Amino acid sequence: MQPFRFPRPLQPFSSKSQHITRFFSVPLLFFHSPPIPYTSHLIHTTTTTPTQKMSYSSDEDQPDPELLELLRQHLNGKQASHTAAETGVLESAEFVYNHAIDVALDMRGCKKAANTIWDQMQQREYSPATWSTHELHPKDKNEETVQFIFTMDLLNFSFWSEKSEEDRFQVEYRGQRWTGYWSLVAALQRGLEEGIPITDPAFWINDEKFTPDVLRTVFRSATDEEIPLLQERFDCLREAGQVLHEKYDGSVLDLIEEANGSAAALVNLLASDFPCFADIHPYPGRRQPIRILKRAQIFVADLWACFEGQSYGSFADIDKITMFADYRVPQMLWQLGCLLYGPTLEAAVREKKMIEHGGEWEMQLRACSIWCVELIRREIIREHPEAKGKVNAVLIDFFLYDAVKELEKEGGERIPHHRTRSIWY
């Protein structure tokens, strides 16, 4: 496997650069590709000139994806069509990007990153099958693996620590210590080996057998630091178990079947039926909330990757899934010279100050990262037509996450990840 080679970073932000969106008062839009095809044709994009005052577009022009689908069914007199479902995530991301002041994209950086990412993916033969090559990911292609992935993505949030690598939360499993996301996977695997049915939804709703202390045992640490948000993780499992019991006969498979082979429909089901998957937030100037849906989307993506697009991972519209807006991939996009922060935000990130959950900074970081990966995807396909059908936002996200973890291990990070503590990522 070839080591990841990073392109030379761009020069720091300069007001003289013609390639970089300006910060402060008025965001100038560049790299504004044609609007994404959308069946309603109602997506409103606002642009400004340097002398115009920025005004947010009316949210009356922003359709709700689920309501739009119901209207379409009514007008056509048809049964629900899951293949026509839209998550609304990409439209939300474009809206925030169009109005962002503190986060920007660099066109040259995006183009250069697209070529670098595609070249590296080719060299590494990066594909959905790469998911199963990770040491801790389940290898069997069965119902138990589906339950494992569902559990994993219910709890796939907030692993960062201010402690040193030696003192932070770690899970010891099979002679190794694991941190971050891999500490979650290791803890679940260890719990199952110890006879705790931690991936069984029926177990989650058993008040006598499933308690916070049991979950604490599953996530027991090799250090003095406990996993962050342990109670919130317990609540997510209990809530999800109850929803599955009440609506899906206690079965994750029934939930997947309800989506009828549509990735977008499954994301929308998770967002509407499971409050702990509803990564949806208000945003100034828009009546409809911003839909990010990180963990709902990554559940679909993990199924698709694990089962390599077959069986439980077969989705006709997997390309509707976007990048998963967390705290690591934005860091990597900055490292590649694609994502740029305004001076005040960059200072806060470098000083490791807490970024308010649900605030404009956080929304801009997450949404602009989604839009950035979409532009990178488009650039790859534009420059390399043979990539069509082989690369999507899911694989780009997986690749960037693996790359930033390699970078972290080598001590090559030039900026920290932003600090926000929440159950959404």
Going by C-beta distance under 8 Å and a sequence separation of 6 or more, which residues neighbour residue 326? Answer: 294, 401, 425
Q: How far apart are CA 249 and CA 238, in angstroms?
A: 15
Q: What share of the chain is helix, strand, coil (3-state, %, to 5)?
A: 50, 5, 45
Q: Which two tokens stand for residue 124?
A: 């590494």
C-beta separation of 425 from 367 below 8 A = no
Beta bridge mates, 171:
178
Q: Which two tokens stand for residue 222?
A: 């090799």
Taking each helix axis from N to C end, the angle separating 393-410 and 107-123, rounded to the nearest 10 degrees, works out to: 90
Q: Which two tokens stand for residue 136?
A: 């801790």
Cα separation values, 86 from 235, 262, 334, 341, Å:
28, 10, 28, 30
Say whether 119 is catalytic. Answer: no
Mark 279-315 as b/e (b = at least 16 C-beta within 10 Å): bbbebeebebbbbbbbbbbbbbbbbbbbbebeebbeb
Question: What is the phi-psi region of residue 258: left when phi exceeds 0, alpha when psi lies from -120 to 50, beta otherwise?
Answer: alpha
**Residue 380, exposed/middle/buried by CB under 10 A (0-12, 13-18, 19+)?**
buried
Q: Which two tokens stand for residue 393?
A: 């936002």
Q: Of the residues 279, 326, 397, 402, which is catalytic?
A: 326
Q: Which residues are catalytic?
A: 326
